[in-house]
Every structure is written in structure tokens, then in C-alpha cells.
Amino acid sequence: MESLIYSIIISFFMALVIGVVIIPMLRRLKFGQQVRDDGPKTHLKKAGTPTMGGIIILIPISIVSVILSKGPLDFTLAAVLVTLGFGIIGFMDDFIKIMKRRSLGLRAYQKLIAQIAIGVVFSFYAYRNIGSSIIVPFTQLEWDLGLLYIPAMTFIIIGTVNSVNFTDGLDGLASGVTLIVAAALSIIAGSMASIMREEGMEYIAANYGNLMVFAGALAGACLGFIRFNAYPAQVFMGDTGSMGLGGAVAALSVLLRIPLLLPIIGGIYMAETLSVIIQVISFRLTGKRVFRMSPLHHHFELSGMGETKVVTMFMIATTLLCLIGLLAV
């Protein structure tokens, strides 16, 4: 438990220090956010706010989780590499947006190919090292997916990464929601480590203990980032941060064998994604929109709810969902 607390605190202060250094640098380089023309009009004033702030999150996660881990680093390194891999995809996307002064970076197929590559490699790694069984929430059962494990996990990983990306649209939203999700995952990882240790499975217990540290570093980095990203944001995480966060959450859920828990603890991520899917299908089939705008957070904004109130509401919902998720396992 001490290592979890240290990981949160150190990651938090590291994010604060990096933020103080990075944000002025991003301003000097004029790495400003390009705002969607079809987005809420209130967001137009955010144009030019430094982006790529996800670096402030990714550096502490990578350093703290490795330094504070004890024993085998297998799972920790896998989680860090997946996080950085998706973060790099996001970085490339952000960089193109900035250089070309547009709101679109990498083409959709380019991002998808890169995401599939990381997803398949990581899923194969998990298959070889933890097997093809996943935990079924609210039961004592495990579901062995067999050869379907790799494509299923790849789909879940890509879905999670893009869902977190959809969630990043209001000041402090993605970082606030992920902070709570990471805290829940750290509790789950710590509990599983204790169970494995009692059963004499020291190697797995040590790896799960290190995943607890990784989740703690994730929570601490998000907490530190909120200092700069809360309304009115001094910096945006960009796809660098949102894809990196998605990769971290996905890696934890797969390695802890709880991907079926994601729809619960990551309920906000799922709601954001479903709102986009429903909106697109409805508009193409009927020419009408179900929501004022998607993702879901924009619908509430355009319905008259203040930005900070939407973020607070989503964080409260995430807290309740994570408590349910803890009961589920």
C-alpha cells in the first residue's frame, strides 16, 4: 500500500513540475489547439490554447511506475509501452494538426492501422503470459475465450482508446474521469495481488502489485495535470494525452483480466462513444439528430449546462460506477 501512495504523490508532483516547464515552451512554439468550426461556439475562445499537454501525464507514468516497481517488471513494461505507443500515435496526430493549422491530423485509416498493430501485439503478449481467460463480473466465473482472445482484446483495446479520446472535449473531463478510473483499478490490482500472494503465486502477485503502482502513477499524473487543465484550461492534453490514457486503462484491464468490467467503471467512456454512434446512424438513416451534438458532453453543454457542471456530473457518475465495479470483482 505504501508503494501505491508514493506512486500517486511522486507522479502528482512530477506532473506539476513538468507542467510548469512544458506549458511555456508549448506557448513559445505556438503549439496551439485548432478548434472545430462545427463545435460549440463557446469553445472558439479556446483556439490557440497550448495542446500536446499529454506529455505532462505520460512522463510521470513511465518513470514512476518503473522506478517504484519491485521484482518482475514484465507487466509494468508492457503497460508502459502500450501507453507510450498510443501516446505516440496521438502525438503524431497533434503535430500534423498544428503544422497544417487544421482540426484534423492523421487520417482515420492511418490511426486505425497503427492502433490495430499495437492492439494485436499486446493481445498476443497477454495471451502468452496470462492465458485466454477473463473474469466475469458479479460471478466467481472465468470465461475462456480460446483463440478468440486476441481479436477480442484487440477490439476492446482500440475501443477503449478511442472512447477516452471522445471523452476529451471539456476542460478537466478526460483527466478527471480517468483519475477516478485509475484509482479504482489500483484498488483492484492491489486486492488481486494480495489474493495471489495468499495462494502462493508470488510471481503473479508481484506483477499485480506493480500494476497497482502503475495505476497509482496514472492517477497521480492525472491529478497533477488537472491543475493546468481545469476550467479555464492553461493547456489541453490533445490526442497525445487522450490516446495515452486510453492505452493505459486498456492495458490495465487486459493484464488484470477484467476487460468485461470496463463498461461499468468506464461507463462515461462508453456513453460518449455510444452517443457518437447513435448520432451518426440516426442522421444517415433519418436525417435527424438524436443529440444536439455528440459526443454526449457537448449535448449537455448545448442544453444550457455549464462546462464545469458537466465535468462535475460526469465525475460523480464515474465515482458511483467505479464503486459498483469494485463490488463486481
Q: What is the mean pLDDT of the chain?
A: 93
Q: Measured on CA atoms in the order 163, 164, 165, 167, is the torsion positive or negative? A: positive
- Work out the average pLDDT over 126-135: 96
pLDDT of 105: 78
Mean pLDDT of 148-176: 96
Residue 199: its pLDDT value, please?
86
The reported pLDDT for the residue numbered 40 is: 61
C-alpha cell at 8: 500517486
Rounded to 10 deg, the angle between the 149-167 and 267-286 helix axes is: 90
pLDDT at residue 33, as a whole number: 64
42 band by pLDDT with thresholds 50, 70 and 90: low
Neighbours of 39 (CB within 10 A): 16
Three-state DSSP class for residue 223: helix
Name the strand (E) or helix (H) holding 45: none
Please determine, for residue 41, whether its predicted confidence score (pLDDT) is greater than 80.
Answer: no
What pLDDT, on a 0 to 100 scale, did the predictor assign at position 201? 87
**Res 45: pLDDT:** 59
Mean pLDDT of the 105-125 span: 94
What CA–CA distance (Å, rounded) separates 275 from 296? 6
CA distances from 41 to 31, 276, 302 (A): 21, 19, 10
Q: For residue 35, what pLDDT is reported? A: 58
pLDDT score recorded for residue 97: 85
In DSSP notation, 262-284 reads HHHHTHHHHHHHHHHHHHHHHHH
What 8-state DSSP symbol labels residue 133?
Answer: E
CB under 8 A, 24+ apart: contacts of 279-286: none
Q: pLDDT per residue over 94-103, tens digit each?
A: 998 888 776 6
Contact predicate 282/307, CB 8 Å: no
| H-type alpha helices, the chain | 2-28, 55-68, 74-100, 108-130, 149-167, 173-198, 202-229, 238-255, 262-265, 267-286, 296-302, 307-328
What confidence tens digit (pLDDT) does each residue in 274-304 have?
999 999 999 999 989 999 999 999 999 999 9
As a whole number of angstroms, the distance between CA 250 and CA 54 comes to: 17
Cβ distance 276 to 295 under 8 Å? Answer: yes
**pLDDT > 90: what percent of the chain?**
80
DSSP labels for 165-200? HHHTTSTTHHHHHHHHHHHHHHHHHHHHHHHHHHTT
If pLDDT is split at 50, 70 and 90, which confidence band does 43 have?
Answer: low
Region of poorest pLDDT, from 43-47, 70-74, 215-219: 43-47
In DSSP terms, 143 is beta-bridged to 134
Mean pLDDT along residues 161-169: 95
Query: Is 206:70 a contact under the CB 8 Å cutoff?
Result: yes
What pTM did the predictor assign? 0.93
Write out pLDDT tens, residues 180-232: 999 999 999 999 999 988 888 888 999 999 999 999 999 999 999 999 999 99
pLDDT in tens, 245-256: 999 999 999 999
pLDDT at 28: 86
**Pair type for strands 142-144 and 133-135:** antiparallel
Q: Which pLDDT tens digit goes with each residue over 82-93? A: 999 999 999 999
